[in-house]
Structure 1
Amino acid sequence: MTYGPVPRYGHQTQPWQQPDPANVRSWSQQSGPPAWTERPAWAGAQPPAPPWMAAGPPARPDRDPGQVMGIVGLVLAFVFSLIGLACCVGAVIRSHRAGYVNVPAIIGIPVAVLTMIISAVFGPTISAMIADCLVPGSGIYVPGAPAATCPVRP
């Protein structure tokens, strides 16, 4: 079975042209890909960069973009641990993408986690103490003493 002449590399036979019967070979008779007849324009040189990469990588910002968020997250980690944890993680990601290391945010992450653990363990005991002290008439009041002593629930 023959399919027509093998065109030179880079040249296509037009569908309206009839193949030359003397030059027709089957695919089993071919010994590999066609030989190079001309050198491509890009051979031996670096291909041009796409337009979106032509300017190169973006410049590093002068200031760490996550520094303020890291400090806010560290402060919030002591009071509102979940919000502080979210701020610290966001600050670390933002700083990392800009090529900086955000130390306050890195410190704020374990502080927020420890604050959450401590509040989960001791929170019920502290809230029970506060509830006992808020009930009028509870505790022992000594006249002249600076503060009342509240009993702790067993």
Structure 2
Amino acid sequence: MTETISSPELGTSPIGENPGKKLGLIGLILAFPFNVIGLIVSIVALRKSKKAGFKNLAAVWGIIVGALGTVTLAIIIIVSVGAIATTAAFCAENGAGVFENNGITITCGE
């Protein structure tokens, strides 16, 4: 448990080490290759730090990077699934062969 000092001139400030500092750094690092995991770890780290009265900039950046990466990944997946579905529908309609559609070559298998 972290002790705090309170004085009228200085306000309240935490004493001790930030319990979420290392976890916040880990979350930030994980947010680059593993967006969702980094986002979750960063949120946990920020909550631990706030509960102890500390700020955690690494955790905040981990949340930002993780959230942006997750949204970007979701958009890429949605667009890819749409493109695959469109191509599959085109091939189902036209059968096997190589086709030119709006300047794009589509090869449909059997």
TM-score between the two structures when normalised by the length of structure 1: 0.42
Q: Which has the higher contact order (CA 8 A, sep 6+)?
A: 2
Q: Paired residues, what number?
A: 73
1:111-144 deviation line (CA, Å, top 9, x unaligned): 111101111122464xx9xxxxxxxxxxxxxxxx
1:109 to 63, 67, 78: 63
Provide the rounded CA distance (Å) in 2 between the counterparts of 1:110 and 1:96: 17
Q: Is the 8 A contact 2:30 2:37 kept in 1?
A: yes
Q: Is the 8 A contact 1:74 1:108 kept in 2?
A: yes
Counterpart for residue 101 of structure 2: none
Alignment of 1:53-72 (within 5 A): 59=3, 60-72=14-26
Q: What's the secondary structure of 1:107's corresponding residue?
A: helix
Structure with the higher strand share, 1 or 2: 2
Q: What's the secondary structure of 1:79's corresponding residue?
A: coil
Provide the rounded CA distance (Å) in 2 between the counterparts of 1:58 and 1:103: 19
Q: Is the 8 A contact 2:42 2:62 kept in 1?
A: yes
TM-score between the two structures when normalised by the length of structure 2: 0.57
Provide the rounded CA distance (Å) in 2 between the counterparts of 1:58 and 1:120: 40
Provide the rounded CA distance (Å) in 2 between the counterparts of 1:95 and 1:109: 14
Provide the rounded CA distance (Å) in 2 between the counterparts of 1:76 and 1:63: 22
Point out where structure 1 has 5 or more consecutive residues left out of the alignment.
Answer: 1-56, 129-151
Point out where structure 2 has 5 or more consecutive residues left out of the alignment.
Answer: 4-13, 84-104
Name the Cα RMSD after superposition: 2.7
Mark the structure with the bigger radius of gyration.
1
